[in-house]
Amino acid sequence: MRRRVTRKLAVLAVSAAVMSVGAAAPPAARSAGVQKVPVAVGYGGAVASVDADATAAGIEVLRKGGNAVDAAVATAAALGVTEPYSSGIGGGGYFVYYDAKSRTVHTIDGRETAPLTADSQLFVENGKPLAFADAVSSGLSVGTPGTAATWQTALEKWGTRRLGTVLKPAERIARDGFTVDSTFRQQTADNEKRFRYFPDTAKLFLPGGGLPAVGSTFKNPALARTYQELGREGISALYHGDIGEDIVKTVDKPPVDPASGWNARPGKLSAKDLAVYGAKFQAPTKTSYRGLGVYSIAPSSSGGTTVGEALNILERTDLSKASEVQYLHHFIEAGRIAFADRGRWVGDPAYEDVPTRQLLSQRFADSRACLIKDDAVLTSPLAPGDPRHPQPCSSAGKAAPTTYEGDNTTHLTVADRWGNVVSYTLTIEQTGGSAMTVPGRGFLLNNELTDFSFTPANPAVHDPNLPGPSKRPRSSISPTIVLDRQGRPVVALGSPGGATIITTVLQTLTEFLDRHLPLVDAIAAPRASQRNAARTELEPALYNSVLRTQLEAIGHSFTLNPEIGAATGVQRLPGGKWLAAAEKVRRGGGSAMVVDPAP
């Protein structure tokens, strides 16, 4: 009965969707207009992303003998064309890679950095923090982009193809165009006012002065030329060359329409900021859960530590036998606790003393898990614990509310014929980023620096997420790979969604590993998100269900969120087979493909 309730709710959320389990990739020729399907099973490798053209770009590279890293970069570059409001070379991200030969997991921190001249007062004006809306659409919000460096770093370390080669499919899509869908049009509409502040953005994304029509072909020849230049000259064109010069000019003197009246505050980015930028190799986080190894990204993202701590909190509860109400209750409370600790302890480890190992210890998790009661609800904002000196059931510290993060980003997941896997989340922060397009270059710049705390979240406690020179703002990105006891992949997944990324990944993992839903159904299941706030967010299928009433009887309070996250994943099956899974409905549905549905 428990699983029937979950499955029924999933059906309510995705009843209009059509699922196909044998979706192979289209031919290697241009793939615009390829139908989206949310699940595919087969051989030779698999790709899942939010967009069919981008997924097909990755499959094209796999078909030509490239590995998972090559295909991941190709998919990401294509998403920079078809998902330009969520990703692109004007942003950054986190790359998690499983090497099948050594059975090890590696990560790259490609997060954007603040300018060398930034300090804790970056977003303070006349003694007061700027309003978020004023900060976003300005040069102040733009961090040094890390995406191109991430691509080159991953290809040089683990790939088999040159950057110029894997950029070709994306270059082709940008030049020839892709078909506008309702999601792209709606995202444009949501940003239309901001886009009109900047003539270059309006010219590109409001063709003919209006919203792009659903079914029309959207072309970006400027981005095609930019990709061609990157492919020919390498990323030095961005970090030491003409593309970088154009980025700096745009940030430091935003090309705003004077008639708009918008105060596009200038940033402080310099050529030196680009020249000294580097994507960072670092060890992944690791959590043991139900005998499996759960690997993710370490700080500067809080994703790995927060998902890992929540899993450790849930470790002592048999979620497979819990009722639906008790499962959701424990999931919500684990998220509340983990976010309380995240806010106090996680920042850029190059500047902050982040207790990563202690946050992921089972001892600390147990000291926090005892706060959870079956018949009562914790009050937010909950005070953090001290991972270095765990005290059972202690919550005597100073609470800090969770800072806002933009709710957009994009995620892709790839596996190849050799068993290598990539889980990669990339972003320009909120939908549309800073709204500033680099003139003549065809890509938007990020607003990642607004992920910093503008002022201390709690003035009485040190805030590890204040701006600083070359500092990386805290992120919630959580690309995850799960291995079995033999070090082989079980599942890999991730999601966009700002701070809801953490709860989306946590819920999808527990739905799959504990509740035993098929991966595509675990991704589709209606979501809840508690981030140490007074109310827990629920998607409509949960908000309008009897489960909400039952949870309210325990003491939970809720608010409606129309859509939380948009996950993708891959699952290893026996005999060299892979399953790729994506959303059935969220963000217009995702796209899963395999190289070949037959052996």
Active site residues: 409
Which is nearest to 151 in space by CA: 237, 65, 217?
A: 237
CA distance to 47, 55, 74, 170, per residue, from 164 (Å): 20, 18, 10, 10
- Here the tokens at position 169 are 């499919």
β-pair type (536-538, 558-560): parallel
Q: Which residues of 342-355 are buried (b: 16+ CB within 10 A; e: fewer)?
A: bbbbbbbbebbebb
- Residues 6 or more apart whose CB falls under 8 angstroms from that of 321 comprise none
Contact 530, 558 (CB under 8 A): no
Q: What is the 3-state secondary structure (H, E, C) of 503-557?
A: HHHHHHHHHHHCCCCCHHHHHHCCCEECCCCCCEEECHHHHCCHHHHHHHHHCCC
DSSP symbols for 458-497? STTS--TTS--TTPPPPB----EEEE-TTS-EEEEEE--S
Which is nearest to 467 in space by CA: 483, 456, 478?
A: 456
- Rounded CA separation 180/170 (Å): 16
Contact 251, 269 (CB under 8 A): yes
Amino acid at 515: R
- Here the tokens at position 511 are 């739905």
- Rounded CA separation 281/530 (Å): 31
The helix (H) or strand (E) run that includes residue 594 is strand 591-596
The helix (H) or strand (E) run that includes residue 500 is helix 500-513
Q: Would you tell me how many other CB atoms lie within 10 Å of the CB of residue 396?
A: 9
Give the ranges where 299-436 is alpha helix by DSSP (H): 303-314, 324-345, 356-359, 362-369
Phi, psi of 415 (to 5 degrees): -135, 150
The helix (H) or strand (E) run that includes residue 70 is helix 68-82
Using CB atoms within 10 Å of the CB of residue 174, give its burial: 0 to 12 exposed, 13 to 18 middle, 19+ buried. Answer: buried
Contact 40, 22 (CB under 8 A): yes
- Here the tokens at position 38 are 């949310």
- Here the tokens at position 63 are 């078909």
The helix (H) or strand (E) run that includes residue 288 is strand 285-289
DSSP-derived 3-state class of residue 432? coil
Q: Would you tell me how many other CB atoms lie within 10 Å of the CB of residue 467?
A: 22
Q: Would you tell me how many other CB atoms lie within 10 Å of the CB of residue 228?
A: 16
